Amino acid sequence: MIAGVLYAKWIGKKIYQVPNEEDNGFIRPTQQAAYQEFVELATTREKELPSLGRSLLPIVLPIILIFLNTTLTALELDNGMYGILIFLGKPIIAVSIGLLAEIYALAGSLSRAESLDRMEEGIQTAGIILLVTGAGGALGNVLRESGAGNYIVEQIADLPLPAILIPFFVATIVRLVQGSETVAMIKAASISAPILSQMDVNMALAAQAAAMGSMIFSYFNHNLFWVVNRMLGIKDVKEQIMVWSVPTTICWSVGLVSLLVANLFL
């Protein structure tokens, strides 16, 4: 966290932009002008914002429904009212209900035409994010299905590394090859667990090693790379890497050092 905040302070001086109300994009004025404009915009927006409850409703409602679906399914309670809750908790249904709640809670004071215009703006903004996110996920899937990741992982596991670094570097390689940090963590854990079970290793640190190893250089085959940069309005490739790929790698590096230090004592 400390390394990330320090880097953010530095990169903030290099790439400084604020939302532009006219075209729903971003502008890059001078530092002082941007600060003043940001304060004025925040003050104006604060008066227009809905209450906390109405703002959280479209987010919390689907989460609660999906949680109920998962819990009731696990308990095998699917009769009567339980069955209805399971149906409402299916992800697509739950998110759709959240969308309806959002329309009535956040746009209830708008006319039908204004509500449709706002929804159209949202679709235009989210469309490119969904497109590049899907493309990034597809690229990662192609790399995963090619078998290159499994081969490299097996080679890493056979190297004479300190035991605590086996899950770390396995997760690192998988992340670089196919993009998903979730898959990288699971793959690192499943491959290294049989090896580490025969060694004197702190398994809590080993689990952290698998997690931190998956934080390395996030780039074009990772869907979150596109989500973050598109939401921030960063379009230049060099800046995209500076904004997201570099800080994830810094966290990875600090995690490696922290892991080795913790391993000395634990």
- What pLDDT, on the 0 to 100 scale, is given for residue 132? 66
Number of helical (H) and strand (E) elements in the chain, helices listed first: 13, 2
Positive or negative CA dihedral for 159, 162, 166, 172? negative
Distance CA 2, CA 145 (A): 37
| 10-residue mean pLDDT series, the chain (266 residues) | 90 76 64 64 73 86 93 84 90 91 78 81 74 66 67 71 86 83 82 80 90 89 81 84 92 92 87
- What pLDDT, on the 0 to 100 scale, is given for residue 55? 84
Contacts of 182 (CB under 8 A, 6+ apart): 214
Distance CA 82, CA 100 (A): 22
List the domain boundaries for the chain: 1-49, 52-109, 143-265
Question: H-helix or E-strand containing 19?
Answer: strand 18-20
Which residue type occupies 218? S
Closest C-alpha to 156, from 211, 195, 207, 124: 195
Tell me how crowded residue 245 is: count the other CB atoms within 10 A of its CB: 18
